[in-house]
Amino acid sequence: MRASSYAIIDEPRPGALQKWVVNPLWPFFAMMFAGSWLAMPWFAFNGMAMGSATRRRELTVVLLSAPLKLGLFIFLLLLYRKSGLPESSLRYFFLGMTVLRLGLGYWLLNLQQPAFSLYEYFDGPVRNGVPLVIVGAVLNQYVLGLFGNAFWRALAW
């Protein structure tokens, strides 16, 4: 039975973009090695392409990730300025940004995994995401350089 022919009442059907579906582990790896600029749109696209039942929740997480990162960035910057610690400690303050970024990626991975398992069970076509992860990791510094100052870079990373 092909993925385009199965029908579960509660589960949306895959669309015309189903030939581009990847295992959600690859966008998560992109989050780890390239950053949010690649992974967040990829998670959103992957959920839409496979017809994930949780695609609205996934899209909400993707859209709220930038304001969450912005709020944490401002909070950590204000906390650093009030603490009076030396400038060398600033990198430890922004470790929280990495934790938030990877936490959101892990949440999206867990939201998409059940839909992907069902999609794969019904023989849906699955692409390999390794080439895009490698290209994203190689181009990461160049892309982050396009964002200008550290504030925008922190949001894109």
Would you list the domain boundaries of the chain? 17-156
CB 26 within 8 A of CB 131: no
pTM score, whole prediction:
0.86
Pick the residue with more confidence: 155 or 121?
121
Whether the CB-CB separation of 154 and 97 falls below 8 Å is answered with: yes
DSSP reduced 3-state for 38? helix
HSE toward the beta carbon, residue 125, CA cutoff 13 A: 9
pLDDT at 93: 77
% the chain with pLDDT above 90:
49
pLDDT mean over 15-25: 89
Average pLDDT over residues 110-119: 92
Could you tell me which residues come within 8 angstroms of residue 120 by beta carbon, excluding any fewer than 6 positions away?
23, 126
- What distance in Å separates the CA atoms of residue 139 and residue 54, rounded to the nearest whole number? 30
Identify the CA nearest to 136 among candidates 29, 47, 24, 19: 29
Write out pLDDT tens, residues 54-92.
999 999 999 999 999 989 988 888 888 898 888 888 888
Residue 142 predicted with pLDDT over 60: yes
Q: pLDDT band for position 4 (50/70/90)?
A: low
Contact yes or no for 69/155 (Cβ under 8 A): yes
**How many angstroms separate the CA atoms of 4 and 95, rounded?**
43
What is the token pair recorded at 16? 């015309």
- Range from 2-6, 39-43, 141-145 carrying the lowest mean pLDDT: 2-6
What is the pLDDT averaged over residues 117-145? 91
Higher pLDDT: 154 or 75? It is 75
- Residue 149 confidence (pLDDT): 78
Q: Select the more confidently predicted residue: 94 or 131.
A: 131
pLDDT score, position 2 = 53
Partners of 22 in the beta sheet? 127
